[in-house]
Structures are given as C-alpha cells and as structure tokens.
A and B are shown apart, each in its own frame.
Chain A
C-alpha cells in the first residue's frame, strides 16, 4: 500500500468497488442512480479490462465488489467476471433487477462462486411496482428469481427504494422479504441526485409518512430479530445530520463506470470541474491515490465552516458533495441536509412544499433521452 502512496502514508485502502458493468437495464426507474447521460454499449469496457481492474482492486485491499449497472446480467461475460472475483478472493455482490436474463444466468453465477444477491423490488403491489419500474410483468420474474436464489442457498437482500409512490408499502416490503426468504432488507429512502433529482417533486414523501415508515421499520427490527436484518436509509432532507456519503470521499469506495471512468461515488460526475481518470490510462492504485477527483474532497482540508471546526467532521465527512453542489451551489459547502447548515431550513421547507403538492408524472430514465439536469436550470438556494 505504501508503495502506491509515497506522499500520504495515512491514505486508507479502498474497501469496496462498485463495478457498473453496463448502463443497459430493462427497468426505467425514475430514481435511477445512473447519470442522466448513460454510457452506450459500444463504449463498455471489455472482459479482459474488467479482469485487470479486479486484479488491481484486490491488490489495493478491496474486499467487496458490487457488480452493478444498469442490469449487470445484461453483460454476456457476467459469469466470467464473477468467477474472476471468486478467484481473487473478492466478495461478489450481484445487484440486480432480477428481470430479463438474470434468472437464466443465476445457476452459472452460483457455480462460479457468487457470494450474495441484492434484488431490487420497486413495490409490493405488482401494478404499482411495474408502474414505478416502467416494465410490465416484472414482478413475477422478480419473485421467480428470488425463489431460485434462496433455493440455491445464496443469501438474498431485497432492496426497496422508498418514495411517495410506495411509502405506504413499507410494511408490505417487510412481509415480502420474510416471504421470499431474504436475510436482509434495505429500506432506502430515495437520495435525490441524477434521475431522482429530475423526478424529485414526483418522489418526495411527506414528513408524517417518513416518520411512520421509520416507526414501522423499528418495530419490525425488534419483531424479526435474528431472522431479517433491516437496513434503513432515511431521506436526507428530513435528517438531522447528513450521511457519510460513500463512507467519506475517497476513503472506502471506488466506482468504475461502464466506460472505465473511476469516480469516488456514483454521482460525482454532477460536480463540474472535477477531473476523472480512466482505467485505460492509469492503474487503479494510481487513480485512488492521485487522481484529482479523489484528492479533491478527501480528508478534511477542503472543508469550510461549519464543517471545518465541527467535531463530527470525521464522522460524516461533511456529508454529500453532490448534494452540497445541487442545493448550495458549492460542492465544498456543508451538505444542506445537515441541521448545522445555514440552508437546512430551506431544504426542509422545499421538501415539505413538494410533498404537499400532487405529484407530477415520472420522467423515466432512458438511454439517449433529452432530459437535462435541473442543476443547470434551477438557481441554487
């Protein structure tokens, strides 16, 4: 590790690699975490490059690889890539929609040593779920996929992204997770970047519903202790302190896009002026230690007040840079989700206002759409 980081002996080794293998996906969720400008298939890294990236990641100290997308099973080489993870001792986590060719490839993935499956579910009621995901007949495919996962003895996590279109189904998600034999459930309130930011007014739930969902999760955690672990991500806009985004900028996570661009988090490209390096040009270790995008907000030197003197600065690392940019117009500002930010009250008011109005229609994510980021049109707060 030191050989890679001669000038910064304290540089932590990355723990996780989010491998966005492709942006192709049969679903069109309005809160998709992919960027508004999606990579096309022709620009995707080839198998050998991914295998080199994984080898470098293992050498750097990465333990977990999240095989994501888009829909990662849309790649023809998903089995080979997973097998490489197993051979390198990397813990492989398939983050999948469970639709399309996912079920067909599952047994082969199991055979080469896949460690864990995280399956997204958009809703409990099939019609609602399929409206949110924008794909007919997705729900039965997901259930069949989940059944095979548990049949094989693979650990299953259900991931539910919560917003006003399904916040009434939180109880149902918990029952569904138990019924499908999941060991973990993520009740993740939407984080408003990228597509979710475009659709924020259609997605933002009201405070009473958010509070209710938290109470339901807390009661279920007690009731299902030892059977189902429930991870809760509360919506930032209603939180007291921000989350340590990606565990702190450039501290734990690397994100490689389908085209091989390496980001400190999946939304980092929304910050203008950051220089990202590509795996085609640099080794992963070089990128981790030296790429301008990673060094820009690593540690605490870049912080302004109130973060700079805050005793939480090494707990939440100032929150999310992308959100600071989106809401405060400055990526180095305190995340306005933090109650210590001067803009926090405005953010809370904005959320309350949007949640009180009747929701507009979703803008579904799609490759090659003309959706422009509202970041460019909306004046910062």
Chain B
C-alpha cells in the first residue's frame, strides 16, 4: 500500500485553475523534494493534503484513508507561516502537542530546543519570527509520524542554521516514514533527496528517483531544475 496517493486532483478558485489533474504516489521511507517555481501550486497541493483546502475534484488517500481525523494522526505538517498562538509559552505549546498527538515525544522536543538555545519558558510573542519557526520545526519533527510535510522549511533561515535544520530532519524521522519537502532552495536539500517531483503551472511534470534523474541528465537536480524552468 502506498503511503500517499493522489488521484485526478483539481483545485480552482473561481475560474482560475490552480492544480490540474494531479496524480502522484509516494511510498514509505522516502525523502521527496516537491520542487517548482513560486506560484506553481506546491503550497496549494500541500494544503489540500492537510485539509486546509477543499479539492474541487479528485481524491487524496493517506495510508488507505481519505483526508480526515485518521490521516491527521499520521501526518506531521510544517507550514510556511508561524501558526502558534503567540500568547502561549513554548512549554505550553509542548503541552498542547502532547495533548493532541499521541506520537509526540516531549522529551525529544525539549532536547532539540535546548540544542537550539531556545528557552522553553519564553513567550512566543517575545521570540523573533526565525525563532518561532525553529520552535515549529522542533514540534513537527518531535512526532513519530508516517508522513512529514515541510513547506519551505529553509525559507527564512540563515545558511548556517539550514544545515542544522536538514540534519534535524534527517536524524529525527523514522525509517518507515516519508518526508515531503517543498522548496526552491534546491541546492541546499539536494544531498538528502531520494525522489523529486517537479510541479509547474499546477501540473506534475516530472516524478523521478533523484539518482536516476542525475545519471540520466548527467547533472545535478539544481541544474536540471534551472534548465527546465528557465524564464
């Protein structure tokens, strides 16, 4: 059974088609790069998988279930924006995650926060946006989920921290889980990718094993991306 299956998925706002007949499947144990230019439909696709948008038509199946309560138990999602209640302290947010997600490991979260020099007794409102994003990443990666979906996890982060984040991702998900990383900072994540999905103008234009693609095109994913999406 595939971990994630998307069949004939379409999403429109008014008459504007954002996603057009998207079909894809992702197996367990893969790190998948969802790559595309700005406005290609990456975030829309991710939001549909996470029940933040309602499909116009089509189907999304995660571990045999349609998007709903059961799929949310196994998907750990990091959005591109800060979504935590700013009135809360970090320790309260940890408690919140512990309350709602059975697979959340609070000890691991505290350890990761300590590594990042983040004070768990600090209010989120007193933290910079970058610090809040780090807290969110820690929370998301402290779950023992089957599918991690990370939307632009490196977006607002300095290059030094990017490596730490990638290492955190690599060392904190279990072997049977898959990770979907949406980004346009391809060179930064290339080294960790098993599979790539190229999306353009709402359509999946390529899904391939990363190594096979590199060998076939005799160039890096970053170069292939630049060639394919040259303006």
Q: Do A and B bind each other?
A: no
Interface residues of A (CB under 8 A from B): none
